[in-house]
Amino acid sequence: MVTIKDVARAANVSTATVSRVVRDKGQVGDKCRAKVQKIIKQLGYRPNTNARALVSKRSDTMGIVTPNLSDPFFGGIAQGIEEVARQMQYKVMMGNSLHDEEGEIEAIASLRENGCENIIIHSKYSSNETLIKLCEELPGLVLINRFIPSIAGRCVWLDNTVGGRISTEYLLNNNHKDIAVLTSYYNNQDPHDRIRGFKMAMEMAGHTVKDELIFVSDLKQVIKQGQNGGNLEGESTAKRLLESGQKFTAIIAYNDHMAVGAMNLLLDNGIRVPEDVSIIGFDNVYVSMIVRPQLTTINYPVVQMAKYAAQLSIDLTKDKENVENKTHLFMPELIERNSVYHLKES
Amino acid sequence: MVTIKDVARAANVSTATVSRVVRDKGQVGDKCRAKVQKIIKQLGYRPNTNARALVSKRSDTMGIVTPNLSDPFFGGIAQGIEEVARQMQYKVMMGNSLHDEEGEIEAIASLRENGCENIIIHSKYSSNETLIKLCEELPGLVLINRFIPSIAGRCVWLDNTVGGRISTEYLLNNNHKDIAVLTSYYNNQDPHDRIRGFKMAMEMAGHTVKDELIFVSDLKQVIKQGQNGGNLEGESTAKRLLESGQKFTAIIAYNDHMAVGAMNLLLDNGIRVPEDVSIIGFDNVYVSMIVRPQLTTINYPVVQMAKYAAQLSIDLTKDKENVENKTHLFMPELIERNSVYHLKES
DNA sequence: GATCTAACTAAAATCGTTTGTAATAATGAC
DNA sequence: GTCATTATTACAAACGATTTTAGTTAGATC
C-alpha cells in the first residue's frame, strides 16, 4: 500500500505538504502542488481512511439506522441517503438496528466508534428521552419519520394527521360516510396521528365517528417481517371487519401493504373494488400502482425526505449556523387512482 | 472518549494487557482479567475502530456493492448480508456503486481504504477480467449472482439456465406450445442463460423455437430505475408482442416486474389471465404474490444466497482452508400459483 | 547589499490501538 | 534454597495520517 510518506519521498517534500495538497488546504506553492499531484496520480496514492479518522475524529461516513432493508420503504430511505452521501463524498455505513430500543442504541454506539458523525435514524423503538439525549451528544444525528418537539430541528417528518385528514376528506367528497379504518399496531405515533386526522375530518363534516369501525391489526409478530407481513395484516384485519357484519362503503388502510391485503381479501370474497367497497392506502409505494384496480393513496415522499435528512445532517456538522431550530416538515399528498368509487348522493 | 490508556491507568496495568483482555487473546491471569473487565464496564470503554483498523489492517467490516437499494431484490441482498454480519459481529458498509464498471471499481476501492476485507458485490457492469483480477487482490471478495468459471470458488450464483428450463417445462406440461418470451436488455449473462434454458426445453420436447416470439425490451434507460421501471418495461414489450399479431397462449417474462407489467397490459386490453393467456415470471418477489391472479414464478432465493455469500466471504478470510475451490450453486424452483392455465390437449 | 517580512516547508507530536520483545513473577525440579 | 522454566505482564515501536511549531527561503524595501 502506498502511503503519504512514499509520496513525500518521491516528490521530495514533507508529508505535511502532501497532506495539504490532498486536502487542498493551507498554502502550497503552485509548482510544488503540481509536482505532488503528479506523483500522487503516478503512485495511485489514496489516503488511509482509518488513519485519517483516527487523528481527525471524523470519517466522512454517514450512518443509517433502519429496521428492515428488504422493505422498499426503508430501502428507499437508504437509497436516498446513499445518493446524497455519494454526491458529498461520504461513505455510508449501516447500523445494525435490532427490534428494540437497546438494538437502536447499540447500532448508534457502533456507528460512533467508527467515527461516524452523521447519523440518520428511523427510530421505531426508542423513547423520546433517549433520542433527546442522543441528540445532545451527537450534533449530526437526524431523526427521520418522527417528530419530537424539543428537538424539532433534528426531525424530518411527515404530517400524518394531515394525511389522515385528506384521505378522509377525499372519501367524504365521494359521498362515503360509512368508513372503516384498518390500522396497525405500532409503538410509534403514526397510526394515532392518522386516526386523529380521520376523526377531525369526520367531525368537521358533521359525521359521528364509530369506534367499532376502527380495527387494529392484531398480528404484532408479523410487523417485524416488513412488507411481507403487511398484506397478511391487511387480510386478517379486513376479515374481522367483514365478519363484524357492519355496514361500510369505504376502507382507509394504515398503509398500502395493508390496503392491498384488504383489497385482495374483498376480491377473493367476491366483493368488487371499488364498485362495492372503496379503498384508500398510504405511502404510495410501488405495489400501489401495479395492483388492479390501482390504489388511490397518500404520497409519502420518503426518498426525498431521506435526501433532505442526509443533507441536513451534513449541514448540522458543517455550517452549524442557521440550521438548528428550523422545522423540517413534509406534507402528504393525495394520489388519485382507481380504488375509490364516486357514490351517488343518497 | 475513554481510551485504552484510561482503562490501563485505572486498572493499574499496561495497555497491552487491556488489549489482550478485550480481544480475549494471549494469556492473561484470571484475577487480572477480572479486574480489567470490571474497569472496562465501569468506564464504559469501547475500543476505537479506526485505531484498531489502522494497525491491524482489518476492520471487521463487510462491504456491499449493489446497484439500487430501493429495488427489493437488492434490498433483500443487503438485508441478508446484514443479518449474517450482525451475527458475526461485523459492521456493514455500502459501496456506492454507480452504473458502470468504473463506478463498481471505485466503490470497491473506497471500501478497501476503509480496511474492509470482506466485500460482496452484485456486479452488473464489470468485465470478467476485471473481477478476476480483483479476486486475486482481495481474498474476501465474493460475487453474488454471477458465475465466472476461473473463480468459481468466489461465485454464489443461481442456475438461470435451469430456471428457464423448468418454467418452460411447466408451460409445456400444461399443454402450451405457442410460448412468447419477454426478455430484458441487460449486459449480463442472465437473460441469455434463461433463454438458453427455454430453447433447450422446447427442443427436448420436439418443438421448434420461433425467434420472432422472443421480444427484447428496448427500454434500456428504464432499467436503471430498478423496480419502478420493470413493470413499464413489461408493458411496452408485451404491447409489441400483442401488436405483432402472432399467436401465443403463454408468456415467459424475464422477471416478476416484467410479468406484472405484461399481465396488466393484457388485463387492460380485456385479455384474461390466465384463461386467455398464461404468464410465468421469475424471482418470486413480493409483488408476485399480491397481484391477482397470483403469479406463478421461479423462486430466486436471494436472501438465502446473500447470507451464504456473506458467510463464505468470512470463511475465505478466516479459515482459508477447504473453502476455496468449492462451488456455490443455488437451484431455482417453481412456485406454482394462479397465472398459468391448464390447456386442454388439442 | 543588508534587513525585515512574507511565504512557504520540515520535523515532531499526536490519535488509540496492536504486537514483538524484554522483564518480572511464579512454579517446579533438584 | 537455588536455578531453570514457564506463565504473566510491561515497554515501546509501529500503523498512516493531521497539525502545531519551528525553521528556511525568497522577495521587498531602503
Q: Phi and psi for B320 in degrees, rounded to 5? A: 40, -35
Q: Which residues of chain B are in CATH 1.10.260.40 domains?
A: 4-47
More confident residue, A329 or B346: A329
Q: Where are the alpha helices (DSSP H) in A114-159?
A: 128-137
Q: Give the Å distances, CA to CA, from A123 to A52, A79, A155, B288, B300.
A: 30, 17, 11, 30, 31
**B86: pLDDT strictly greater than 80:** yes
Q: Measuring CA to CA, how many Å separate A75 from each of A67, A79, A118, B79, B286?
A: 10, 6, 19, 10, 14
Measured distance CA(A318)–CA(A297) in Å, rounded: 38
pLDDT at B229 over 80: no
**CA–CA dist B211, B198 (Å, integer):** 12
The residue type of A72 is: P
Determine whether domain B4-47 maps to CATH 2.40.128.640: no
Residue B138 has pLDDT above 60, yes or no: yes
Rounded distance between C-alpha atoms, residue A167 and residue A336, angstroms: 10
- Give the nearest partner residue to B53 out of A50, A94, A292, using CB atoms: A50
Beta strands in chain B (DSSP E): 61-66, 91-96, 118-121, 141-144, 155-158, 179-183, 214-216, 250-253, 278-280, 297-299, 328-330, 333-335
The residue of A3, A48, A88, A91 whose CB has the most chain B CBs within 10 angstroms, and thus the best one to mutate to test that interface, is A91
Decide: pTM greater than 0.85: yes
Least confident residue range of A90-94, B67-71, B81-85, B196-200: B67-71
Per the CB < 8 Å rule, is B267 touching A292?
yes
Nucleotides of C under 7 A from a protein CB: 7-12, 14-20
- The answer regarding whether domain A59-158+302-332 maps to CATH 3.40.50.2300 reads yes
C-beta atoms of B72 and A71 within 8 A: yes
* Average pLDDT of the residues in B301-311: 96
pLDDT at B221 > cutoff 60: no
**Considering only residues 221 to 280 of chain A, which have any Cβ-Cβ distance to chain B shorter than 8 Å?**
227-228, 231, 260-261, 264, 267
* Mean pLDDT within B29-42: 93
For residue B72, which residues of chain A lie inside 8 Å, CB to CB?
70-72, 75, 227
Numbered ranges of CATH 3.40.50.2300 in chain B = 58-158+302-331, 161-301
Q: How far apart are CA A64 and CA A296, in angstroms?
A: 31
A156-180 mean pLDDT: 97
Q: Do B69 and A69 touch (CB under 8 A)?
A: yes
At A1 the pLDDT is 83
What are the residues facing A158 on neighbouring strands? A330
3-state SS of chain B: helix, strand, coil percent to 5?
50, 15, 35
B204 touches strand C (CB under 7 A): no
Give chain A's mean pLDDT. 90
Bridge-based pairing of strands A214-216 and B91-96 is unpaired
Q: Are B51 and A50 an interchain contact pair (Cβ–Cβ within 8 Å)?
A: yes
Residues 6+ apart with CB under 8 A from A104: A65, A95, A97, A98, A121, A123, A124, A125, A126
| Structure confidence at residue A114 as a pLDDT band (50, 70, 90) | confident
The letter for the amino acid at A152 is A
pLDDT at B321 over 80: no
Mean pLDDT of A76-99: 88
Taking the C-alpha atoms of residue A277 and residue B322, their distance in angstroms, rounded to an integer, is 61
**Lookup result for grid cell 506553492:** A29
| Average pLDDT, integer, range A49-55 | 92
In the predicted structure, residue B287 carries a pLDDT above the cut 50 = yes
Lowest mean pLDDT among A131-145, A231-245, A268-282, B316-330: B316-330
The residues with which B179 forms a beta bridge, in sequence order, are B250
- Any bridge partners for residue B91, and if so which? B61
Neighboring chain A residues of B49 at a CB cutoff of 8 Å? 50, 113-115
| The listed CATH number (3.90.320.10, 1.20.58.340, 3.40.50.2300, 3.40.50.2000) that belongs to domain B58-158+302-331 | 3.40.50.2300
Q: Which CATH number fits domain A161-300: 3.40.50.1970, 3.40.50.300, 3.40.50.2300, 3.40.50.10330?
A: 3.40.50.2300
The domain over range B161-301 is classified in CATH as 3.40.50.2300: yes
